[in-house]
């Protein structure tokens, strides 16, 4: 297996992990709108459903995006595909 | 001034600019105390900020191809994130979104999730790869990856339909603000808005748009946050509203029950007297008020649409490297998050100051005559954005007797909450910045696609640089005027048009772009089928539902992108598999595209 193929397999793996987390926060939890609203867990006093859609999921995306960028950079480095800084 | 040195000095330049802007706000506040009229303050804010953008636009003028199309590919990561955030947050985000949440509650909060979650798709599936590709425009990628003019032309078509729908909404927003702030008729104000948009982009293309967008982000974020923090403290709700409005949200639910929300209904005859475009508070503020699927389908469309809208994607062509393109997406999302997490807080504070009878600003339960005598009521009523009427004839204002235009929520809140007029002027400038920055990006995306992909790549491949840049600028003006003319007709509201634009983009471009990177077997005929059938079926569904069609799967005119993109995916896969696989050269190109290092696939000048 060539270097490029291995690099691509790892990249694809990271994609699936990232998209799985993304799916949970963007789609998955909102199948349970009424259940979340009834939950006794109320972050900062907001109903959970309201909190997730106005802050919780959004914050998860921000963190996920930075985490993803860092992981992908590591993968690129591991296989020697990092760009030269002057390019 | 702009080359090299300017890039190194960016933090200093924008630091001074931010300080200057804050100084200007303080100056206006002092002027207000000394008796400057509200109207003069509004005009000063709008004119001052637009003048600054115009100066930046002029300083960034260029005659170079890669500066005009991709800002010379030297925009640093964080600044590109800021520019993208301004490019992204439009009049819909700034002016209309909080209003949508205000009136529709939880159901419309799917927009918050959709318009941020989409950035995960942008950074994982597309942006870094398209940056590596080295294209000038999105159709440039499609045309080269799939080969042939048919694919390029189809991409130009989808891009134009989606972006044009979007841009009319932005010009509508600039027109609304200009007409309120400058006190001129809406039909004239849209052209004032257009002129300011063109000032920023015409001479310097992407380079000018980049540096004005950074400036616009700073204005719009200050303008959005300041009143929210202020109202929150003033009301005693807490100095950091995002974490402290739990009680206020609960209080609104309590008041809703007390005022009979959902049980007292207006008769059709009464509603007929309400001016067109205004809405009453009819939905619960925080509780889940729709189906789960309604929420999720809207979020899906906004996410896929985000990843397919060319004016966003092309912002990531301007970074120095693939790595910085990826980082830049994360920064953009952070900058966007700052505003989006504030929007529901704004809606909450705005609604509570209006409806809570225990607050001095509350108007529900007051006599109709008193409300009609309020200064701010008269202003906004005159602008056709606010209306009260004594339906039940008891002389006091009930919750169901108050109506407001969605776009007035953000713009009118400072006045309703009793803040000094300088804040209203600031908010007007912020709304203008948001709408202008997006309109700039969109008009440029359309004009660049037409000038680069249609004119240069298809019609006249031998055209010289000077001629290409003239064509690009002429197209910019023509498209701007066409957009302003349609905006002046006022066919669809701001939020509605913007949501449609996302659906159009998703229908035609999402799968052709994603599969272009992630599926080697995807070929030209498949992509053309995917783009045309996707756009066609999505549009057909929209027309059907808008003309009384019943629809299926609970898909409405706001989520028709689901139909379009599914048709696009299926037709693209089927046609690709039925036709020849891409040739060796194309497959190698895709391998090259997938790694960050090495030369860009398209040269620096092409």
Query: Contact, B51 vs B182, CB < 8 A?
Result: no
By CA distance, what is B345's nearest residue in A?
Answer: A54
**Strand residue runs (E) in B80-233:** none
- By Cβ distance, the residue of B124, B292, B591 closest to A19 is B124
- By Cβ distance, the residue of A19, A53, A62 closest to B113 is A53
Q: What is the pLDDT of residues B23-33, one digit of tens each?
A: 999 999 899 88
- Residues in A closer than 8 angstroms to B596, CB to CB, are 76, 81-83
Rg (CA), chain A: 18
Residue A60 within a domain:
yes
pTM above 0.90, yes or no: no
pLDDT > 70 in chain B, percent = 98
**Residue B412 vs residue A87, higher pLDDT:** B412
- Residues in A closer than 8 angstroms to B110, CB to CB, are 30, 53
Does CATH number 3.50.50.60 belong to domain B5-366+417-497?
Answer: no
**Banded model confidence at residue A86, pLDDT cuts 50, 70, 90:** very low
Instruction: Look at residues B317, B314, B311 and name the one whose alpha carbon lies nearest to residue B440.
Output: B311
Q: What is the pLDDT of residues B291-350, one digit of tens each?
A: 888 889 999 999 999 999 988 888 888 888 888 889 999 999 999 999 999 988 888 888
- By Cβ distance, the residue of A31, A72, A76 closest to B292 is A31
pLDDT > 90 in chain B, percent = 15
Check: complex ipTM more than 0.90: yes
Residue A16 within a domain:
yes
Which two structure tokens, joined as six digits, stand for B574? 């089927």
Q: What is the pLDDT of residues B478-528, one digit of tens each?
A: 888 888 888 777 666 777 888 889 999 999 999 999 998 899 888 888 999
**Banded model confidence at residue A87, pLDDT cuts 50, 70, 90:** very low
pLDDT at B117: 92
- By Cβ distance, the residue of B286, B299, B322 closest to A47 is B286
Instruction: Look at residues A67, A64, A62, A70 and name the one whose alpha carbon lies nearest to residue B334.
Output: A62
**Phi, psi (degrees; rounded to nearest 5) at B392:** -90, 0
Residue B120 to residue A47, Cβ atoms within 8 A: no
Q: What distance in Å separates residue B127's CA from the closest CA in chain A?
A: 12
For residue B411, pLDDT beyond 70: yes
Residue B113 to residue A30, Cβ atoms within 8 A: yes
For residue B2, pLDDT beyond 70: no
Terminal-residue alpha carbon distance, chain B: 26
When the pLDDT of each residue in chain B is averaged and rounded to a whole number, the result is 84
C-alpha span between B528 and B139 (Å, rounded):
12
Residue A30 to residue B124, Cβ atoms within 8 A: no
* Residue where the block lists tokens 């010009």: B171
Burial class (CB in 10 A: 0-12, 13-18, 19+), B297: buried
The total number of structural domains in chain A stands at 1
Put simply, the chain B residues between 243 and 282 with a CB less than 8 A from any chain A CB are 243-247, 249-250
Residue A33 to residue B128, Cβ atoms within 8 A: no
Q: Touching check for B292 and chain A: CB below 8 Å?
A: yes
Residue B354, CB-side half-sphere exposure with 13 Å CA sphere: 29
Q: What is the pLDDT of residues A7-64, one digit of tens each?
A: 889 899 999 999 999 999 998 888 888 888 888 888 888 888 888 888 899 999 999 9
Residue A59 within a domain:
yes
Q: What is the largest CA-CA distance in chain A?
A: 55
Q: What distance in Å separates residue A81's CA from the closest CA in chain B?
A: 5
Residue B272, CB-side half-sphere exposure with 13 Å CA sphere: 3
Q: What is the pLDDT of residues B196-248, one digit of tens each?
A: 888 777 778 888 888 888 988 999 999 999 988 988 888 877 788 888 777 77
Burial class (CB in 10 A: 0-12, 13-18, 19+), B278: middle
Residue A73 within a domain:
yes
**Banded model confidence at residue B569, pLDDT cuts 50, 70, 90:** very high
For residue B604, pLDDT beyond 70: no
| Cα dihedral: B101, B104, B107, B108 (round 10) | -40
Q: Which domain holds residue A16?
A: 3-78
pLDDT at B26: 92
Contacts of residue B552, defined as CB under 8 A and 6 or more positions apart, other chains included, come to none
For residue A1, pLDDT beyond 70: no
Residue B327 to residue A69, Cβ atoms within 8 A: yes
- Residues in A closer than 8 angstroms to B330, CB to CB, are 62, 65-66, 68-69
The residues that bridge with B367 in the sheet, in sequence order, are B396
Which two structure tokens, joined as six digits, stand for B287? 């509780």
Q: What is the pLDDT of residues B67-122, one digit of tens each?
A: 777 877 888 888 889 999 988 988 788 888 888 888 888 888 888 999 999 999 99
Residue A84 within a domain:
no
**Banded model confidence at residue B170, pLDDT cuts 50, 70, 90:** confident
Q: What distance in Å separates residue A56's CA from the closest CA in chain B?
A: 9
Average pLDDT (B267-278) is 79
* Residue where the block lists tokens 């300088």: B422
**CA–CA distances in Å: residue B178 to residues B100, B429, B597:** 21, 9, 47
C-alpha span between B161 and B213 (Å, rounded):
23
């Amino acid at each position: 297996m060539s270097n490029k193929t291995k690099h691509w397999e790892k990249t694809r793996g990271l994609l699936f992990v990232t998209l799985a987390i993304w799916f949970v926060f963007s789609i998955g939890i909102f199948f349970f709108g009424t259940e979340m609203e009834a939950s006794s867990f109320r972050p900062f006093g907001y109903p959970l459903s309201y909190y997730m859609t106005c802050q919780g999921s959004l914050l998860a995306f921000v963190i996920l995006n930075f985490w993803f960028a860092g992981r992908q950079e590591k993968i690129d480095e591991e296989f020697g595909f990092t760009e030269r800084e002057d390019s | 001034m702009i080359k090299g040195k300017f890039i190194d000095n960016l933090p200093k330049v924008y630091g001074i600019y931010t300080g200057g802007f804050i100084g200007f706000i303080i100056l206006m506040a002092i002027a207000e105390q000394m008796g400057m009229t509200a109207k003069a303050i509004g005009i000063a804010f709008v004119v001052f900020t637009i003048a600054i953008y115009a100066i930046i636009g002029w300083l960034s003028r260029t005659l170079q191809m890669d500066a005009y199309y991709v800002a010379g590919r030297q925009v640093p990561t964080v600044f590109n994130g800021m520019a993208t955030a301004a490019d992204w947050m439009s009049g819909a985000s700034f002016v209309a979104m909080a209003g949508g949440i205000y009136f529709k509650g939880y159901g419309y909060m799917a927009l918050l999730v959709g318009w941020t979650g989409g950035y995960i798709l942008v950074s994982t599936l597309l942006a870094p790869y398209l940056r590596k590709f080295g294209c000038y425009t999105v159709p440039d990628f499609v045309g080269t990856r799939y080969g042939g003019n048919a694919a390029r032309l189809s991409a130009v078509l989808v891009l134009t339909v989606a972006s044009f729908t979007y841009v009319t909404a932005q010009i509508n927003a600039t027109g609304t603000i200009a007409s309120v702030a400058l006190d001129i008729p809406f039909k004239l104000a849209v052209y004032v808005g257009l002129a300011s948009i063109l000032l920023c982009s015409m001479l310097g293309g992407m380079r000018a748009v980049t540096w004005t967008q950074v400036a616009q982000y700073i204005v719009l974020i200050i303008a959005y946050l300041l009143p929210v923090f202020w109202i929150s403290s003033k009301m005693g709700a807490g100095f950091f509203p995002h974490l402290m409005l739990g009680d206020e949200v609960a209080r609104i639910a309590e008041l809703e029950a007390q005022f009979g929300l959902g049980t007292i209904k207006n008769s059709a005859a009464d509603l007929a007297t309400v001016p067109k475009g205004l809405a009453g508070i009819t939905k619960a503020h925080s509780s889940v008020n729709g189906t789960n699927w309604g929420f999720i389908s809207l979020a899906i469309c906004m996410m896929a649409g985000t990843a397919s809208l060319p004016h966003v994607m092309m912002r990531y062509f301007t970074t120095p490297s693939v790595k910085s393109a990826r980082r830049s997406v994360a920064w953009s999302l952070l900058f966007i998050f700052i505003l989006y997490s504030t929007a529901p807080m704004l809606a909450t504070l705005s609604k509570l100051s209006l409806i809570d009878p225990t607050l001095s600003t509350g108007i529900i339960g007051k006599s109709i005559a008193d409300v009609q005598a309020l200064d701010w009521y008269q202003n906004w009523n005159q602008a056709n954005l606010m209306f009260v009427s004594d339906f039940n004839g008891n002389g006091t204002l009930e919750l169901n007797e108050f109506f407001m235009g969605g776009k007035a929520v953000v713009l009118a809140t400072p006045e309703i909450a009793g803040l000094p007029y300088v804040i209203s002027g600031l908010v007007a400038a912020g709304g203008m910045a948001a709408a202008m920055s997006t309109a700039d990006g969109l008009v440029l995306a359309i004009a660049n696609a037409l000038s680069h992909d249609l004119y240069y790549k298809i019609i006249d491949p031998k055209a010289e640089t000077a001629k290409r840049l003239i064509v690009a600028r002429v197209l910019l003006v023509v498209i701007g005027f066409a957009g302003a003319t349609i905006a002046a007709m006022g066919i669809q509201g701001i939020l509605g048009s913007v949501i449609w634009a996302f659906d159009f983009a998703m229908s035609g471009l999402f799968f052709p772009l994603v599969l272009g990177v992630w599926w080697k077997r995807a070929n030209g005929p498949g992509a053309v089928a995917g783009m045309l059938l996707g756009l066609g079926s999505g549009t057909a569904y929209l027309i059907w539902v808008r003309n009384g069609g019943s629809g299926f799967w609970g898909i409405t005119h706001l989520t028709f992108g689901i139909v379009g993109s599914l048709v696009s995916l299926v037709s693209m896969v089927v046609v690709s598999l039925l036709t020849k696989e891409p040739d060796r050269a194309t497959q190698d190109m895709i391998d090259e595209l997938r790694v960050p290092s090495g030369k860009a696939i398209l040269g620096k000048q092409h």
